[in-house]
Amino acid sequence: MNDLTIKTAIDYELPETVRNRHMIAGEWLGSADTFERRSPSHDVVVSVSAQGDAAMTERAIKAARAAFDTGVWSRISGKERAAVLLKVADLIEKNVDRIAVFETLESGKPISQSRGEIGGAADLWRYAASLARTSHGDSHNTLGEDMLGVVLKEPIGVVSIITPWNFPFWILSQKLPFALAAGCTVVVKPSEITPTSTVMMGELLIEAGLPAGVCNIVLGHGQPVGSLMSTHADVDMVTFTGSTAVGKLITQAASGTLKKVALELGGKNPQVICPDADLDSAADAVTFGVYFNAGQCCNSSSRIIVHEDIAEDFVKRVVALSRKVKFGDPLDPDTQVGAIVTAEHNAKIDRCVKAAVADGATLDLGGGTMAVAGLGEQFYQPTVISGVSPKMAIAREEVFGPVLVVLTYRTFDEAIALVNDSDYGLSAGIWSENMHTCMDFARRAQAGTIWTNTWMDGFPELAFGGVKQSGQGREIGRYGFEEFLEVKSLVLRIGRSRAPWVQQDA
């Protein structure tokens, strides 16, 4: 495998095609069938991967079950688990460039963004390591002089981790280290579109000394791999990030065994722009929020709600900034927005935009695919749409592209109503210099994360997840860690103080 060497913005050497295999019980296994991934920006084959089937998935689940039941990981000390997680964090940092190249080529995201996500993921592993050492239950010594109650927290068991294509390494690192820190064993299925960085993670886990069978990776599609991971009786929990539609299917599939399901799903995330806001900062944050990862982000700020008095001015500011954002070759370190993941998804984005215009919305900028010199047309223009009514599909449905819709409001209560008039509730934001306004918004907005005068800042310590159809459960932070724990109550009687229930004959 060759490292990518960037000579100029368009003159570089592509790495050799990587061959991905399954990782089961510490061994690398192939399959008779394979599937390939072509770069959406450069139209070259990036990876050829083994195609998992039901038998391979069964084998991975069996390995995870055996590793959990033997206690090779679940019953060792938190200190020992933390030591392995910290080694993984160090190895991630040593391999940032190698992993980032394939992340960029498979996903179409800019190389600078990939490097930031890969390197930043190390911090998630270090925080999870700290939780492995500090997790604890509770004791109750007020139950009487002859009773002691203890609440234990134990790993839930075997966890199926199913990750999406848009942030394959980062989202894996929002789940995997926390499951491992809790003492769980896992089976991982990455998206068939972006499998390589997950396989590279498997290499790092082996190098760090993770016992065989604790983490297993099966490559393939939702059918049969993901389906079996969601229904198998030996799996105790499923954690999934992806579309709301697929999340509902997983919930239905998992109901047959009543296994725990944690979901991080879609969003139609609003930002409210108040008249007293710092409009320059707000416009920059809105521009970042809608174009980051080409809008292919569950946290995209795809819906802004602007006060009528400033709406025209604010839209002009966003349009002006949008024209300055560098869309282009993902391998150029200066590129800010890269390619759309597939031609099919690019066409879907365009259909959504054209439908909005047909419904009467105003196209202020963009509104079509774009060509990048030498790379074709699997890119989409920065797009701003105003004159949007709350009932339009573009205001309610997740486009998952670089498309911003603008709604307006007159009163603050109206703004709150627009924020909450959605099936989704992943995140929401407000821009105001009045902290009373911000706090009122934070209490009333129905979302799992609220940002005030910023957008998409996050930290390993803070939980992430949504309400309504944006999901259930939480990731990262202590609350995300505790998703992978079961609570067990232990009641101890001290001394022979229990009164007999059966009456003895006199």
Four-point Cα dihedral 96, 98, 104, 110, nearest 10: 50
Give Cα separations from 255 to 188, 233, 263, 271 (angstroms).
20, 11, 14, 35
By three-state DSSP, how is residue 88 classified?
helix
By three-state DSSP, how is residue 194 classified?
coil
Q: Is 297 a catalytic residue?
A: no
55 token code pair: 């038998």
Out of 184, 274, 297, 298, the active site residue is 298
Show the DSSP H helices in 135-278 as ranges. Answer: 168-182, 196-208, 227-231, 244-254
Please give the Cα distance from 330 to 13 (Å, whole number): 14
Burial class (CB in 10 A: 0-12, 13-18, 19+), 247: buried
Please give the Cα distance from 231 to 251 (Å, whole number): 10
**Other CB atoms within 10 A of residue 499 CB:** 4
Q: Cα 123 to chain center, whole Å?
A: 15
| Contacting residues for 500 by C-beta, under 8 A, at least 6 apart | none
463 token code pair: 């939980």
Please give the Cα distance from 317 to 355 (Å, whole number): 25
Please give the Cα distance from 404 to 359 (Å, whole number): 16
The tokens 């009163």 sit on which residue? Answer: 411
By three-state DSSP, how is residue 403 classified?
strand
First to last CA, the chain: 86
Give Cα separations from 123 to 14, 170, 215 (angstroms).
29, 11, 20
The tokens 């930043």 sit on which residue? Answer: 120
3-state secondary structure 405-434: EEEEECCHHHHHHHHHCCCCCCEEEEECCC
Please give the Cα distance from 185 to 205 (Å, whole number): 13
Q: Is 298 a catalytic residue?
A: yes
The tokens 């998952």 sit on which residue? Answer: 400
| Contacting residues for 354 by C-beta, under 8 A, at least 6 apart | 367
Out of 103, 106, 192, 264, the active site residue is 264
- Region at 159 (left for phi over 0; alpha for psi -120 to 50; beta for the rest): beta
- Radius of gyration over alpha carbons of the chain, in Å? 25
Please give the Cα distance from 70 to 123 (Å, whole number): 30
Give Cα separations from 205 to 25, 47, 95, 209, 327 (angstroms).
12, 21, 13, 6, 35
- Would you name the residues annotated as active-site residues? 264, 298
